[in-house]
């Protein structure tokens, strides 16, 4: 499913039709906490960013594509996320636009006569992420346990929500039950499968990830401990 919120600027003196906002609102309401919807609509329309609500992806929760000549920037977010995870993932990607694709983004730091592109999750992104999230840190938008964990997360934001095990664990409490487990909770040598049906054996932990063996070809993969998997019966 693709939700496009990009359109050419209306002629001078002709405001955006309210029925357009109503249509956008009706599409977004199932995916976001109700009192965050207007903030998100305003931002997407102001920055002329196209939002795509994607099917479940194993490797990522969302992504950002900078604008190209004649084409708007694009953000995609997995549509199977609960409302709070969807909002946090969306704001994470919005912060990328503020640094990399927005016309009012701060200029790149110039050193040794060459332009340095900001790091994807560097200081510029972290600052933008905090600023965008600030008006959403509201008990009318987020439950108390998510608020506390998210505030801690924002002190040193990670490249992905899945890298913050405490925040991810709290967000999962608000998922609809689907029988999945965090890989972290499975014992060694457990057999598990992914949503796409691929089967793996859980092996030892290597630094921050678990080595897992794919059953059908014996290849090794490294999994995030907070990967959501299904235990084979």
In DSSP notation, 18-45 reads HHHHHHHHHHHGGGS-GGGHHHHHHHHH
Which of 50-64, 127-141, 144-158 bottoms out in mean pLDDT, i.e. has the lowest?
50-64
Distance CA 130, CA 153 (A): 10
Interhelix angle 37-47/18-28, rounded to 10 degrees, is 120
Confidence band for 161, pLDDT divided at 50, 70 and 90: confident
Confidence band for 121, pLDDT divided at 50, 70 and 90: confident
Q: What angle do CA 133, 131, 42 make, to 5 degrees?
A: 70
Which H or E run contains 186?
A: none
Confidence band for 44, pLDDT divided at 50, 70 and 90: very high
**Residue 110 confidence (pLDDT):** 40
Whether the Cβ atoms of residue 150 and residue 133 lie closer than 8 Å to each other: yes
What is the phi-psi region of residue 101: left when phi exceeds 0, alpha when psi lies from -120 to 50, beta otherwise?
Answer: alpha
Phi first, then psi: what are they for 62, rounded to 5°?
-165, 170
The two three-digit tokens of residue 114, written as one number: 């060459």
User: The whole model's pTM is what?
Assistant: 0.79
Tell whether the model's pLDDT for residue 113 goes beyond 70: no
Mean pLDDT of the region 129-141: 97
User: 25: which residues sit within 8 A by CB, 6+ positions away?
Assistant: 37, 38, 41
Which of 37-41, 98-102, 110-114, 208-212 bottoms out in mean pLDDT, i.e. has the lowest?
110-114
Tell whether the model's pLDDT for residue 98 goes beyond 70: yes
Confidence band for 103, pLDDT divided at 50, 70 and 90: low
Nearest to 184 by CA among 156, 214, 157, 209: 209
**Residue 24 confidence (pLDDT):** 86
**Structural domain boundaries in the chain:** 2-172, 181-231
Mean pLDDT of the region 143-151: 96
Name the residue with higher pLDDT: 170 or 107: 170
Tell whether the model's pLDDT for residue 159 goes beyond 90: no
Q: What angle do CA 59, 69, 122 make, to 5 degrees?
A: 45
**C-alpha to C-alpha distances, 85 to 1, 3, 18, 81, 230, nearest whole angstrom:** 18, 18, 28, 6, 20
């Amino acid at each position: 499913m693709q939700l496009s919120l990009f359109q050419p600027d209306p002629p001078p003196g002709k405001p955006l039709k309210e029925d357009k906002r109503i249509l956008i609102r009706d599409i977004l309401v199932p995916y976001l906490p109700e009192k965050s919807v207007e903030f998100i609509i305003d931002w997407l329309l102001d920055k002329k960013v196209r939002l795509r609500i994607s099917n479940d992806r194993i490797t990522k929760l969302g992504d950002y594509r900078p604008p190209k000549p004649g084409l708007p920037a694009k953000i995609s977010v997995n549509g199977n996320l609960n409302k709070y995870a969807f909002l946090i993932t969306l704001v994470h990607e919005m912060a990328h636009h503020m640094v990399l694709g927005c016309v009012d983004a701060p200029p790149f730091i110039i050193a040794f006569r060459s332009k340095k592109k900001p790091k994807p999750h560097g200081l510029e992104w972290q600052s933008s992420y905090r600023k965008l999230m600030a008006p959403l840190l509201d008990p009318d938008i987020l439950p108390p346990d998510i608020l506390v964990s998210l505030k801690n997360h924002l002190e040193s934001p990670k490249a992905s929500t899945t890298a913050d095990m405490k925040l991810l664990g709290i967000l999962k409490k608000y998922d609809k039950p689907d029988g999945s487990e965090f890989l972290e909770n499975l014992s060694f040598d457990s057999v598990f499968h992914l949503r796409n049906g691929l089967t793996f054996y859980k092996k030892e932990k290597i630094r921050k990830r678990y080595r897992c063996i794919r059953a059908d070809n014996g290849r090794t993969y490294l999994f995030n401990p907070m990967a959501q998997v299904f235990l084979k019966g």
